[in-house]
């Protein structure tokens, strides 16, 4: 089996910030979001049973206890995503446990876990939402065709979760609903989204490979030494908003170019018609 590097893919960026923030401490990162065990399992694309099994094996740290309730944070989500990535590559839970044990027996546990969080924590601040089918139809002004539901589900925007739909990006769905109300068919928007996603994923892969080549390749195929983990984690935290700003700037440039071009085409057509009318006797 070809063992690909652990940190190959990243989440898509969210909103850019004006200035790169200082790298958060591990305790600060853990406070960014809180999850029940059900919410954590959904966010990590796994099951509650798996979360509990990983805890029993020592792969995932226990939750913070608040009375009889267990509260999970971004550290748990990052760990679950790493476990999921390794399982998808064919590694066993035993080998993953050995790897995590090696991390936790290192001389700088905080640095290694900080690097893990910097790489695998969500790159956006958006949280999923759940909608019933009537609420979804109402959101689109009563104009939500069944074919749109199939397309949106295929793209992962909606996921059937019991009797409700899990919305991975409420902002994107809200934008789509507003555009539908303005008269733009959702199925055509989903075609554009599919093309956009392919292009963004390709650009994201190239960006991550660039970071990997210049920051990680010097350490070979494995993890960097514990002594370097804290520095690399801080560097990744600094890079995240910079990548977001670069992506947002390019999207804005492309939208400005396209809008100006198409508006210019229409204005030129109107001007041609006007000049033609002026030449008529």
Burial 114-129 (b: 16+ CB within 10 A, else e): bbbbbbbbbbeeeeeb
Contact yes or no for 61/26 (Cβ under 8 A): no
Q: What was the pLDDT predicted at 55?
A: 92
Q: 253 lies in a domain?
A: yes
Q: Given CA atoms 86, 87, 91, 97 in this order, what sign does their dihedral have?
A: positive
- Report whether pLDDT(22) > 50: no
Q: What is the average pLDDT across 106-124? A: 61
Quote the CA–CA distance of 29 and 74 in Å, as a whole number. 7
Which of the four pLDDT bands, split at 50, 70 and 90, describes residue 111? low
Q: What is the average pLDDT across 74-94? A: 84
Please state which of the ranges 1-10, 120-129, 141-150, 243-252 shows the lowest mean pLDDT: 1-10
Q: 222 lies in a domain?
A: yes
Q: What was the pLDDT predicted at 50?
A: 93
Which of the four pLDDT bands, split at 50, 70 and 90, describes residue 120? low
Quote the CA–CA distance of 105 and 37 in Å, as a whole number. 27
Q: 170 lies in a domain?
A: no
Quote the CA–CA distance of 35 and 262 in Å, as a whole number. 46
Q: What was the pLDDT predicted at 28?
A: 43
Q: 31 lies in a domain?
A: yes
Q: Given CA atoms 107, 110, 115, 116 in this order, what sign does their dihedral have?
A: positive
Contact yes or no for 75/26 (Cβ under 8 A): yes
Backbone φ and ψ for 70, nearest 5 degrees, come out as -95, 130
Q: In what order do the strands lie in the sheet with 158-161?
A: 129-132, 164-167, 158-161
> Among 164-178, 203-217, 239-253, which range has the highest average pLDDT?
164-178
CA triplet 121, 124, 129: central angle to 5 degrees? 105
Q: 9 lies in a domain?
A: yes
Which one, of 207, 139, 135, 150, lies nearest residue 172 by Cα?
A: 139
**Beta pairing class for 64-66 and 129-132:** unpaired
pLDDT digit string, tens, across residues 245-276? 887 787 788 777 777 777 677 777 777 776 77
Please state the pTM of the whole predicted model. Answer: 0.52
Number of domain units in the chain: 1
- pLDDT above 70 covers a percentage of the chain that reads 78
Q: What is the average pLDDT across 91-101? A: 81
Q: 233 lies in a domain?
A: yes
CA triplet 263, 268, 273: central angle to 5 degrees? 130
User: Given the structure tokens 């109107």, which residue do they identify?
Assistant: 270
pLDDT digit string, tens, across residues 49-82? 999 999 998 889 899 998 888 999 888 888 888 8
- Report whether pLDDT(1) > 80: no
- Report whether pLDDT(24) > 70: no
**Average pLDDT over all residues of the chain:** 76
Residue 107: CATH number of its domain: 1.10.1660.10
Q: 38 lies in a domain?
A: yes
Quote the CA–CA distance of 192 and 36 in Å, as a whole number. 35
Q: 132 lies in a domain?
A: no
Q: What was the pLDDT predicted at 194?
A: 86
**Residue 8: domain span:** 1-127+200-281
């Amino acid at each position: 089996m070809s063992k690909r590097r652990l940190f190959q893919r990243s989440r898509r960026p969210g909103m850019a910030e004006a200035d790169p923030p200082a790298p958060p401490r591990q305790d600060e990162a853990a406070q960014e979001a809180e999850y029940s065990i059900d919410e954590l399992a959904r966010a990590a694309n796994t099951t509650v049973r798996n979360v509990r099994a990983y805890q029993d094996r020592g792969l995932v740290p226990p939750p913070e206890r608040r009375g009889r309730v267990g509260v999970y944070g971004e550290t748990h989500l990052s760990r679950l995503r790493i476990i999921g990535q390794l399982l998808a590559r064919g590694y066993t839970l035993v080998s993953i446990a050995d790897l995590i044990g090696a991390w936790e027996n290192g001389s700088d546990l905080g640095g290694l876990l900080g690097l893990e969080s910097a790489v695998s924590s969500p790159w956006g601040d958006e949280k999923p939402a759940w909608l019933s089918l009537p609420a979804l139809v109402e959101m689109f002004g009563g104009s939500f065709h069944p074919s749109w539901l199939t397309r949106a589900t295929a793209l992962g925007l909606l996921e059937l979760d019991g009797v409700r739909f899990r919305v991975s990006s409420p902002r994107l769905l809200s934008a789509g609903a507003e555009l539908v109300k303005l008269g733009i068919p959702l199925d055509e928007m989903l075609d554009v989204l599919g093309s956009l996603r392919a292009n963004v994923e390709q650009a994201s892969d190239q960006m991550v490979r660039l970071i990997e080549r210049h920051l990680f390749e010097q350490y070979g195929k494995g993890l960097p030494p514990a002594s370097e983990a804290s520095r690399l984690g801080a560097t990744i935290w600094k890079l995240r908003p910079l990548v977001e700003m670069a992506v947002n700037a390019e999207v804005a440039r492309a939208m400005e170019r396209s809008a100006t071009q198409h508006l210019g085409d229409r204005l030129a057509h109107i001007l041609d018609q006007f000049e033609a009318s002026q030449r008529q006797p």
